[in-house]
Copies of this chain bind each other. A is one copy, B any other.
Amino acid sequence: MIELRHLKYFAAVAREQNIGRAALALNISQPPLTRQIQQLEEEIGAPLFIRSVKGVELTAAGQALYADATAILSLTDLAIERARRAAHGQLGRLDVGIFGTGVFDVVPRVLLKFRNAFPDVEIAMHTMTKEQQVEALRQRRITIGFNRLVSKYPDVKSRVVMWERLVVGVPRSNPLAERDAISIADLAGQPLVLFPSTGHPNFSDFVAHQCREHGFIPQVVQEVGDAVTGVALVASGFGVCIIPESATHFKASGVVYVRLKESPPTMLDVSCLYLRDDPSPILREFLRILEAFRAENGVTGDA
């Protein structure tokens, strides 16, 4: 059976045009090298070298094989190196489940940090709901997911990436738009646009809960799928909306964002979800980056 050893020896002899010199270069003695070449020729079924007084010279078959042998040898080195890098999470693919307002700030910042550290890892983002993310994690279709207000699952761990304050989106025509800061209680009686309408517990439930905590029943005029639609409705004068601060990266004409002055401020999480027993080295490296991100941004605790 032909082994890489044969090809390696063959390539050395072909380069040196001389078996003795090749043996020296390979740090073996000449007779075993001669034998290996003979074996290779036996396997091929044809001479690969023409033996002369000066040394050896490639035959047509030898020339053909030399081209392929060098390719095989370098491909093998490459394969080993790539396997090693894959083992250390420096190569491969990170499938990420993302969600609506996450794309405005936190998610890109974290992923960018990861991309800079591991440029050879391909990052694929898939927009999906919380339930879809958990299911996709279980089916290994994604390695991590980003979301808010994550329930407990036995097989899924979560880690808070960022705590965010809330702001209120108000139409410019609304008197509240003139204020520097308002409290949640000021929203009593204001028509409220909520999102998303799917997947509980969700941000919509969270906002409704905050309102009740501050003593009023929210007057929901519209419930929509995502933040962008919500803000658009606010711009059209449907009412006001409460959004996480990072979503203010999305500007809409006619909408003013006013901060909430609760103290201590009501905080909302962006968390990262991953499978509890996923051994993937890429995940391990990602979590290291995530912890660094938390440290840089002074994030503590978990949801």
Q: A79-B69, A84-B45 are in contact. Are A60 and B280 (CB under 8 A)?
A: yes
User: In the assembly, what is the distance between CA of A62 and CA of B3, in Å?
Assistant: 21
A44 to B86, CA, bound (A): 11
Contact partner of A72 (CB less than 8 A), chosen from B60, B61, B72, is B72
Convert A1-30 into 0s and 1s, putting 1 for each residue whose CB lies closer than 8 angstroms to a CB of B.
111110100000000000000000000000
Q: A61, B44: Cβ atoms under 8 Å?
A: no
Q: Considering the complex, give the chain B residue whose CB is closest to the CB of A91.
A: B64
How near does chain B come to A83, taking the closest CB pair, in angstroms? 4
Q: A5-B3, A279-B50 known; A61 and B83 CB under 8 Å?
A: yes
Set of chain B residues within 8 Å of A282, measured between Cβ atoms = 60
Query: Which of A71, A79, A89 has the largest number of chain B CB atoms within 10 A?
Result: A79
Q: Indicate if the CB atoms of A86 and B60 lie closer than 8 Å.
A: yes
The B-contacting residues of A in range 39-70, CB under 8 angstroms, are 43-48, 50, 59-65, 68-69
Which chain B positions have C-beta within 8 A of A102?
Answer: none
A44 x B82 contact (CB < 8 A): no
A292 located at the interface, meaning its Cβ lies under 8 Å from any Cβ of chain B in the complex: no
Main secondary structure of the interface of A (DSSP, over half): helix
Q: What's the Cα separation between A71 and B82 when bound, in Å?
A: 14
CA distance A60 to B83 in the complex (A): 8
Bound complex: CA A7 to CA B7 (Å): 15
Q: What is the CA–CA distance of A64 and B85 in the complex, to the nearest angstrom?
A: 9
The digit string for A80-109, where 1 denotes a CB below 8 A from any CB of B, is: 101111111101100000000000000000
Q: A47-B87, A65-B83 are in contact. List 6 more A-B contacts (CB 8 A).
A: A60-B281, A64-B79, A64-B83, A65-B82, A68-B78, A68-B79
11 interchain pairs, CB-CB under 8 A = A1-B4, A3-B3, A3-B4, A60-B89, A60-B280, A60-B282, A64-B83, A64-B86, A65-B86, A68-B79, A72-B72
